[in-house]
Structures are given as C-alpha cells and as structure tokens.
A and B are shown apart, each in its own frame.
Chain A
Amino acid sequence: MQLFLVLQEGKRGVFINLKGMGKVNDGILCFIFPIFVTIIVVRLMYVLYWVRKPNRSLRTDNLRTLIVLGSGGHTAEMLRIVNVLQKDRFAPRFYIAAATDSMSLQKAKVLEDSLIQQENSGRKMVEASQFIQIYRSREVGQSYVTSIATTLIALAHAVWLTFRIRPQVIICNGPGTCIPLCTSAFLFKLVGLGWSNIFYVESIARVRKVSLSGLLLYKLLLADQFYVQWPQLQKKYPRAQLVGCLM
C-alpha cells in the first residue's frame, strides 16, 4: 500500500489530500485517521479532567521531584520553598537551571550539602540530588525569529530530560526555563508515559500582573495547582490559590 500526501489546489485554497492506492486503502484511511484523532482528543480531555484533581488516597511513598531554578529572585524564592519541603517525601530532587545561569545551581548545591550534614543514619537511603543544566529557550533581548529555533531546541532538550528524570512532582516559579519542561511533562501525560503533578508558584515580584510563563501555564491548563502571593492576582485569576508572601 502506498500513501501519497498531495497538496491539492481547490476552490478554497491549498489543502492536504491523503491519497491511497485503491478502494481498500481509502477505506482504511477514512477509518484510521479519524480514530487516531479521536483517541488523541479523548486522551486530551481525560488528562485535562484529571489535572488539578487532588490525590484522594493517603500517600506514603517518596516522589521524584523536579525543581526549576531561574536567574534573579527566582532561585532565592524557590530555595526558600525547598527548605521547608519534607526531604524524605520529595526525594530524589532534581534541580534544573538554564545553561547560562551559573549561580542558581551553586546555591542549590549549598542547600543540599547542608542537608547531607544534617542527615541522620536512621533515614532510608534515597538517591542523591542531581543538578542539571538545560538549554535556554530565549536569552533576554534575543530576536523573536531566532527565539523560535532556540525554543524548539530547548523543548527537545526538555523532552529528553523529562524522559531521563521521570519526575512525579514539578515545582516552578516563573523563569522561561519552566515552559519547555512543563510542556514536555504535559506531553508525557498525554501519551500516557508518566504522570507528573505541576505546581506553579508565581513570583513575589508579580503583584498585579502574572508573568508570561504563569499566563501560559494558567490559560493552557498545564499546571495542576497555580499559586499566587498577592491578593490582587488571586482576584484576577480565580483558579489561582492565594498563599501569601513567602519571603
């Protein structure tokens, strides 16, 4: 059986025509393609339904946690959260920062080293934390044309990292780095290759307007939980939860 993808010029413009050889093939095509699309749509609806649904059963295991760091105040806020996280529940921890951000992973290492010193021997042994760099989707001031290419590269890298890390929990607070990672995690959910709960905490610097990352995650329903620190934002984005200032 041979399939031809033909660009056919019709009255309403150019469209794609899948041409098969023979009637049997036409039948299969008319059958398989719509079914394929339906499966994707149903799966998407299933995922969007189950996203944001809290886990009703009591949990006792530990979860692989991905922590997204960013330049400026992002890392400081994120590490403040990590400091309070229960270290045995959220382990092993994977820290990701953009390749051009040298300080963030260092700060995370300092935090993790101080934890190792506090660790008592009674705890069960968990995998050590990892510190990973990811390609940046867009540098500050980069032209939007080249940004498309770099974003796709970043997305591909994110997919690879998501595959390697298999996170069950993702915590991020706004740097551009989190978009490819959250998108990739969502794609994995979509195809049934693993379920990660995405927690987005909008930065304390966002008082009246959410960041671009936040807006995308909110509108596209990618995050399981969307937290804001200022009441003005909670009024504007009703599906967000107010958690107060964390600094």
Chain B
Amino acid sequence: MELREGSGLAAVRGLADQLDGGRKHSLSTDPTVQCKYSRSDCSIKPNESIDAVLEQIGHLKSSKLFERGCVNFLQMDGAGNGGRIRKMVFVTVGTTCFDALVKAADSRQVKEALSKRGYTDLMIQMGRGSYVPSKVSEEDEPLTVDYFAFSPSIADYLKSASLIISHAGSGSIFETLQLGKSLIVVVNEDLMDNHQSELAEELAERKHLFYARPQMLQQTIETMDLETLVPYVPGSPKPVVDLINKFLGFPAD
C-alpha cells in the first residue's frame, strides 16, 4: 500500500492499520484535513524499519502535524519488512515546446544528480516537444522515468511531487507555489520575447524558487538548499476589484 503527497487521512489510517497488524488507530475523522508531515519533524529515512515507521505515524497522530510539510511516498513490500520512500520529481513545460528542458531532465547527469539528492521517480510532461524521453523502470538506472504529453490538469502530479522543475510560464509557477512546493524554474532561451524570465528572476530574488538555464540544471540540483526557500504567500485580486468598484461609484462593501 502506498501513501503519496497529499494522501487523505483514510489512506494513512489504512496503512497504519495494515502495518500494525490490524490494531485500529484513532486518527481524526475530519476528511478535509490533509495528511502531511514535515521532513524535519519526523524524518523517515530510506529502509527504515516498520517499528520506526509506526512510531512516526503514532507521533503524527498525537502531535497535530497534519498542517505542514509533505508526505513522501511510503512503500511496503509484501513481507512488511522495511520501507522505502519514493520521492517524485515532476517536470512540466505547459502547453509549449521546450525540448531543451526535456532533454536536460532526461540526461544521465541530471538523473544522477536527482538520485543523489534522494529522488526516486521522474515524471516528465513534455508538451508539444519532439524529443521523447525514454521510459525506464528502476533496476539499472538511477531513477524511474515516465512521461506524457498533455493532461487536462496537472494538479495531481504537482501535489504528488517533492520537487517540480517547470518552464517559466506564470500559470505553472503560481500553481506550484500555491501548493507550497519546491520549484526550479528553467527559462526557455529559444523564445523570442522572453518576458517570462522577468517573473522567474523576481521570484528567485525573493527566494520563492530556484532559477536555472537548461545547461545549469544539473549544477542547480546538486547545490540547491531547499531549506532556504521562502514559502510564497498567495496574493489577492481584492485590491483591484475594490479600486474598480470605487472608480465606478459603487458603494464600498
């Protein structure tokens, strides 16, 4: 049974029950509370024993850690011996064609760099590009690799990922930041009118994301310190709407 980022409480409770040989855990029954825990608060390391995992989950339920951080993939093998965490990297190019990024992400150096940083899966949304990554399952390669072209909504992939590498479109950037995810933005240097880079640079200066060129992706992954990222506080359209109403002469709300 697997847990992933954003797993509901029911899934966590189910897993805890399974691990604990059927002894029910009394977790909150509120279905709107998302199950998350922070890496720094209870660190489940790769190959940790089941007892340690159970202890962590018990720690979770009593310490109300359900508001912060991210749940990593938690996978148990059939015998229930030991666990492995899966951490997914999601690469997205939106509706554009950005072969340089897809190629860089699919390159040996970047995959090894990601693996060294603890990531286990790479999912590439390749958009309109012509370069096709190679699907790979784990055995010899550093990472499992999978890809697809488009999806009506990438929200689920974003929610399941531990790291997102995205093109510089404002839609992708803000959808990711609003989920509180770690983000590396890669600017497409082939685009003629590159107004996108302004936004990425400004947000990088404010430490909301990392900013890289395709050739620098490997280095950025190797040297990035995710703890230095500042969470992005979403803005509000209310000031605009208030000003519009005021100008038109509508009474204030």
* A171 to B251 Cα, complex, angstroms: 19
| Per-residue interface assignment for chain B, residues 216 to 253, with 1 indicating a CB less than 8 Å from any chain A CB and 0 otherwise | 00000000000000000011111111011111111101
Given contacts A81-B237, A245-B235, 7 further A-B contacts (CB under 8 A): A54-B248, A54-B249, A59-B248, A197-B248, A207-B198, A227-B240, A227-B243
A109: Cβ under 8 A from any B Cβ? no
B23: Cβ under 8 A from any A Cβ? no
* A239 to B124 Cα, complex, angstroms: 44
* A171 to B243 Cα, complex, angstroms: 12
Binding site for A on B (CB under 8 A): 169-171, 174, 178, 195-196, 198-199, 201-202, 234-241, 243-251, 253
* A201 to B178 Cα, complex, angstroms: 21
Q: Pick the contact of B198: A54, A81, A209 (CB < 8 A).
A: A209
Instruction: Name the residue among B238, B240, B247 with the largest chain A CB count within 10 angstroms.
Output: B240
A43: Cβ under 8 A from any B Cβ? no
Given known A-B contacts A83-B237, A205-B196, A230-B202, A247 and B170 have beta carbons under 8 A apart: yes
Given known A-B contacts A209-B198, A225-B243, A203 and B249 have beta carbons under 8 A apart: no
Is the CB–CB distance between A169 and B241 below 8 Å?
Answer: no
Q: Pick the contact of B247: A55, A57, A229 (CB < 8 A).
A: A55
State the Cβ distance, A60 to closest chain B Cβ, in Å.
8
Binding site for B on A (CB under 8 A): 54-60, 63, 72-73, 76-77, 80-81, 83-86, 89, 169, 171, 197, 199, 201, 203-209, 211, 224-225, 227, 229-230, 241, 243-247
* A245 to B173 Cα, complex, angstroms: 13
Chain B, Cβ-Cβ closest to A75: B171
The dominant DSSP class at the A interface is loop
Is the CB–CB distance between B171 and A76 below 8 Å?
Answer: yes
Question: Which residues of chain A are near B244, meaning CB under 8 Å?
Answer: 85, 169, 171, 199, 225
Is the CB–CB distance between B240 and A205 below 8 Å?
Answer: no
Question: Which residues of chain A are near B234, meaning CB under 8 Å?
Answer: 247
* A63 to B240 Cα, complex, angstroms: 17
State the Cβ distance, A148 to closest chain B Cβ, in Å.
20
* A83 to B169 Cα, complex, angstroms: 22
* A83 to B234 Cα, complex, angstroms: 15
Question: Which residues of chain A are near B243, meaning CB under 8 Å?
Answer: 225, 227, 241, 243
Question: Which residues of chain A are near B195, meaning CB under 8 Å?
Answer: 205-206, 209, 211
- 6 A-B contacts, Cβ less than 8 Å apart? A73-B171, A81-B240, A86-B245, A208-B198, A243-B239, A247-B234
* A178 to B243 Cα, complex, angstroms: 20
Chain A, Cβ-Cβ closest to B240: A243
State the Cβ distance, A144 to closest chain B Cβ, in Å.
14
Is the CB–CB distance between A55 and B248 below 8 Å?
Answer: yes
Question: Which residues of chain A are near B238, meaning CB under 8 Å?
Answer: 84
* A201 to B235 Cα, complex, angstroms: 14
Is the CB–CB distance between A207 and B202 below 8 Å?
Answer: yes
* A93 to B176 Cα, complex, angstroms: 30
Question: Which residues of chain B are near A59, meaning CB under 8 Å?
Answer: 248-251
* A209 to B217 Cα, complex, angstroms: 27
Instruction: Name the residue among B195, B234, B251 with the largest chain A CB count within 10 angstroms.
Output: B195
State the Cβ distance, B212 to closest chain A Cβ, in Å.
18
Given known A-B contacts A201-B240, A205-B198, A243-B243, A72 and B248 have beta carbons under 8 A apart: no
Chain B, Cβ-Cβ closest to A103: B95
State the Cβ distance, B158 to closest chain A Cβ, in Å.
14
Instruction: Name the residue among A80, A204, A243 with the largest chain B CB count within 10 angstroms.
Output: A243
Instruction: Name the residue among A57, A60, A72 with the largest chain B CB count within 10 angstroms.
Output: A72
